[in-house]
Amino acid sequence: MNIEQGSLINSNSITFECETGNYHTFCPISCVAWLYQKIEDSFFLVIGTKTCGYFLQNALGVMIFAEPRYAMAELEEADISAHLNDYMELKRLCTLIKKDRNPSVIFWIGTCTTEIIKMDLEGIAPKLENELGVPIIVARANGLDYAFTQGEDTVLAALAQTFGKKSTTSDNGTKSENTPNLVIFGSVPNSVVYELGNELKTYGIEIKGWLPAKRYTEFPILNEKDFVCGVNPYLSRTATTLMRRRKCQLIGSPFPIGPDGTKAWIEKICSVFNKPTPGLNDREEKAWKNLESYLKLLRGKSVFFMGDNLLEISLARFFIKCGMSVYEIGIPYLDKRYQGGELALLEKTCKEMGTFLPVIVEKPDNYNQLNRIKDLHPDLVITGMAHANPLEARGINTKWSVEFTFSQIHGFTNAKNILELISKPLQRQTTFKELGWKNYHTLV
Amino acid sequence: MKLAYWMYAGPAHIGTLRIATSFRKVHAIMHAPLGDDYFNVMRSMLERKRDFTPVTASVVDRHVLARGSQEKVIQNIKRKDKEEQPDLVLLTPTCTSSILQEDLQNFVNRASQDSKADVLLADVNHYRVNELQAADRTLEQVIKFYLEKAEKDNSIFSKKTEKPSVNILGPCNLGFHVHHDIAELKRLFKDLSITINTIIPEGASIDELKKLPQAWFNIVPYREVGLLSAQHLEKNYDMPFISTAPIGIVETANFIRQIQTLLKQLGQNVNFEKYIDLQTRFVSQSAWFSRSIDCQNLAGKTAVVFGDATHTVAITKILSQEMGVRVLVAGTYCKPEEIWFRKEISKYCEDILITDDHNLVGDIIAKLEPSAIFGTQMERHIGKRLNIPCGVISAPVHIQNFPLSYRPFMGYEGSNQIADLIYNSFTLGMEDHLLEIFGGHDTKDISSSTLSNENIWEIEAENELKRIPGFVRGKIKRNVEKFAKINNLNKITLDVMHACKEAGNMQ
């Protein structure tokens, strides 16, 4: 690896590697934590074991206290050994949920267990949907196939199959036939929805709707030939579903993360709609100017991504543009087509900034990564929660990758939030240096 | 299927991993899908451990499902054997491996042929036991394995120590104030001139297990984990044990007297009465506190107690015996402890509740409206909703149960802590009267001090403001209003908010 690293620094294209996959990340059912908040009239039912429930409760820290809109359908031994009828059991639970919470939609989140015992959720859902009169969406957010944020992808891909199909030839159907609409996919806070919508409005582009919208009942109508564009880098299945099943046209571009990514995103969408973008460069420049106080601190610093939430490539690209260098981008899964725009911009950015191209390591091996971190001694390691404290004890600055998942990071103004996050560990280090403490791990 | 919003005890593998990672130089391998190794996060974040959690997931993915996982698990065991050089590799079953019905024992047999470390399969059924039962069983299994091994190679320490000595069985990581309790127990045994032979498993190495039989007796501070081991040692090595938790003045005295009886039976002429008396009346403040005029107001107050068996029993006894509080209901989620629980506690409370359904607990609290609750984090939240104060006395653990300062629950210092906790949980004395006069501590809706009332907030903007976390909302509201004033804007719309944010004036 080290020898390779040397040669890589001079290479002109990105190197992709794949390791053992012995790494820690969160289970994809995590997505429930932000999706239930985003879709306000929803109910999420995670169909899994105690292991799943305890994860949501303890590791993810989303303790279920205040009358939540999500719950576990906890599978017990009788369910596993098929002594109980899945249909009857789910009917019992969903009837209760409907009575108590009356949601507009129920999401069934399948887990590893439902996958292994081959529970026919997709078969049961339509029957129950009819009986209960509540739409049921089935997403297989299991750890056998997916990592962490990809849970959102499974949910949105499931939604993508059916949402907004009711469009009839009446009302605004005629209008949409002539000019394809733009639908954006990816779950982001409402203020980000507003902000990105505003940016595009400046150039005369109206976003028809978002997947997901803040209420299930407000999901946009989607027609064939409509344009769709993603804001999150982990939504490759959703993109594929929208293209293949709904015959939509995907706008592939870098993601609107950082001023550079946001500009590229707007530019790409505008180019598709044949709209000029006067003043966009100034807009980006102004955004960078607002970041100057952070850039002073960050320039010349090095970063190592252990890989957790699939935001890694977009963040790395933004950091390099900020004048930092990135040794390694660990990432659970990389769809080179869906992330194509982002990869190209990464390459371009490295050239522009005169810095070496990072290695991208898919399915990393945490043990090997820790050895590399020890050798490279980066200024900052972006890592999952399991490794942060031990790395800090060894004098290495860390930032939790999940914080990027739970912060507002999209668009021009939110770039500040990202830099605020990574500046914190670098800033506080300066005072520790003066105090002379560095190692909290061994008695030296 | 069970509709579950929250659970008191975790799944079995968490218990197994708590035992494995409490020992030094033991590595656990989980046969599980991606993300199921979140125990690493819990240990690293809650305990703030400086070392990497010695748990590796041998990841089950589609390929493994198709091909079978045999080689992968074995390879991972061998790999960790080389990389970490542990004394023991513990293969931990998970819900996934249980359903796959994989012959994990076969993997263990094969891997152990090429490993320096011992390799063991934790013998727990993931669907039949919970976290605490699994921890209890795993500890027994590990102890049994190493005692048998030591007997075989004659390295066992079967001769008793010269001076009285004790093994502390069961304390492990991610427990409720466990580290502080261990420190308090050490202090107590030092005062009693009893040597601590071993503390198993927290911080112990596998090598220490062969020394277990040389101690005079065993104690199990928390009956949920350690009881099986103590019973095994009693049966096979003739070692007596005490399973009373020394929590509260009365029970601590009871605990010490049991030790006294035990040592006397073993031919030691000890008398701890003077020590108990001195500690109770003068060193510890809690006995005097219960007598003091301050505590008079507690008489007749009501409480509901809910938690694990050990802590619920202990706190109920303290409330009832030491503080004169009426315990309306005492309950536990540790169903296997039901018989013991009822026996211990029926005299000290009016009703007993055995359930792991937090809704039921919540309903009962709502119906009874006690003056205070002593429970888990769940009851604390129930209390918040009902506006009833709650002191947290039991796991499931929360980051707040890992305070940096010394907060034991056991021993004489523990009884001080508990007395403080109880006292601070009730509204008492003069405070009671003042509350009656003025109708509450403070008004519910603190209107954030605004610059003026000139600004009109549009509903959309106001809704956006409501989304902002409470602790900064006031500040943001003021800043947006300031921004609006500077820019001569009367109406605050979403646009104004975003313009303010963009100008970097929001916070």
Identify the CATH number of the domain in which residue A117 sits.
3.40.50.1980
Q: What secondary structure does DSSP assign to B117-145, as a single string?
A: SEEEE----TTT-BHHHHHHHHHHHHHHH
Comparing C-alpha atoms, which of B419, B428, B315 is closest to residue B374?
Answer: B315
Give per-residue pLDDT as tens, A128-151: 999 999 999 999 999 999 999 999
Residues B428 and B291 in one domain: yes
Cα three-residue angle B131-A366-B10, rounded to 5 degrees: 10
pLDDT in tens, chain B (507 residues): 988 888 899 999 999 999 999 999 999 999 999 999 999 999 998 999 999 999 999 999 988 888 877 688 999 999 999 999 999 999 999 999 888 888 899 999 999 999 999 999 999 988 899 999 999 999 999 999 999 999 999 999 999 999 999 999 999 999 999 999 999 999 999 999 999 999 999 999 999 999 999 999 999 999 999 999 999 999 999 999 999 999 999 999 999 999 999 999 999 999 999 999 999 999 999 999 888 887 888 888 999 999 999 999 999 999 999 999 999 999 999 999 999 999 999 999 999 999 999 989 999 999 999 999 999 988 998 898 888 999 999 999 888 889 999 999 999 999 999 999 998 888 655 555 555 554 444 433 434 444 455 678 888 888 888 877 666 777 788 888 888 888 888 888 888 888 888 777 665
Domain that holds residue A56: 28-146
| Binary contact (B96, A25; C-beta < 8 A) | no
Q: In terms of domains, do B368 and B345 share one? A: yes
Q: Are strands A70-74 and B2-4 parallel, antiparallel or unpaired?
A: antiparallel
pTM: 0.90
The alpha carbon of A286 is separated from its chain's Cα centroid by a whole number of angstroms, namely 27
Determine contact: B33 vs chain A, CB below 8 A: yes
| Residue in B294, B351, B363, B495 annotated catalytic | B294
Name B121's Cβ contacts closer than 8 Å, sequence gap at least 6: B90, B91, B93, B104, B105, B107, B108
Instruction: Please tell me whether residues B308 and B399 are part of one structural domain.
Output: yes
My answer on whether B291 and B276 are in the same domain is: no
Domain that holds residue B473: 456-502
| Overall number of domains in chain B | 4
A100 at B interface, C-beta within 8 A: no
Same domain for A224 and A244? Answer: yes
Q: Does A52 belong to an annotated binding site? A: yes
Beta carbons of B246 and B223 less than 8 angstroms apart: no
CB contact under 8 A, A21 and B61: yes
pLDDT at A444: 55
Contact A185, A156 (CB under 8 A): yes
Integer distance in angstroms from the first to the last C-alpha of chain A? 29
Residue A167 has pLDDT above 70, yes or no: no
CA distance to partner chain A, nearest, from residue B359 (Å)? 11
pLDDT on residue B427: 66
Exposure letters A46-84 (e unless 16+ CB within 10 A, then b): bbbbbbbbbbbbbbbebbbbeebbbbbbbbbeebbeeeb
Of B253, B281, B309, which marks where a domain is finished?
B281
pLDDT value at A295 more than 60? yes
Residue B308 appears among annotated catalytic residues:
no
Asked whether residue A13 falls in the same domain as residue A55, the answer is no
Output the six-digit token pair for A384: 């999952």
Say yes or no to pLDDT of A178 above 90. Answer: no
Q: Is residue A386 part of a domain?
A: yes
- H/E element, B411: helix B411-425
Contact B7 A80 (CB under 8 A): no
> Could you tell me if A50 lies within 8 Å of chain B, comparing CB atoms?
yes
Interface test with B, best of A20, A80, A112, A408 (most B CBs within 10 A): A112
What pLDDT is attached to residue B4? 85
Do residues B404 and B337 share a domain? yes
CB-nearest partner of A76 from B2, B38, B130: B2
Of B50, B59, B378, the CB nearest to A22: B59
Task: Determine how many CB atoms are found less than 10 A away from the CB of residue A428.
Answer: 10
Could you tell me if A259 and A304 lie in one domain? Answer: no
pLDDT for residue A177: 55
Given a contact cutoff of 8 angstroms between Cβ atoms, the answer to whether B402 and B384 are in contact is no
Q: How far apart are CA B473 and CA B467, in angstroms?
A: 9
Indicate the residue among B438, B472, B490 that finishes a domain. B438
Q: How many CA atoms lie within 13 A of A156 on its CB side?
A: 32
Number of folded domains in chain A?
3
pLDDT > 90 in chain A, percent: 80
Q: Is the peptide bond before A332 cis (omega within 30 degrees of 0)?
A: no
| Chain segment A92-142, per-residue pLDDT in tens | 999 999 998 899 999 999 999 999 999 999 999 999 999 999 999 999 999
Judge whether A350 is annotated as a binding position: no
A331 touches chain B (CB under 8 A): no
Task: Report which residue type is found at B456.
Answer: I
Q: What is the mean pLDDT of residues A195-207?
A: 96
Whether residue B231 lies inside any domain: the answer is yes
B356 reaches A (C-beta below 8 A) = no
Strand partners, A18: A362
Residue B473: per-residue pLDDT: 76
Dig out the tokens for A438 from the structure. 């560095």
Q: Beginning with the edge strand found earlier in the chain, give each strand of the sheet holding B351-354 in spatial order.
A: B351-354, B326-332, B302-307, B372-375, B390-392
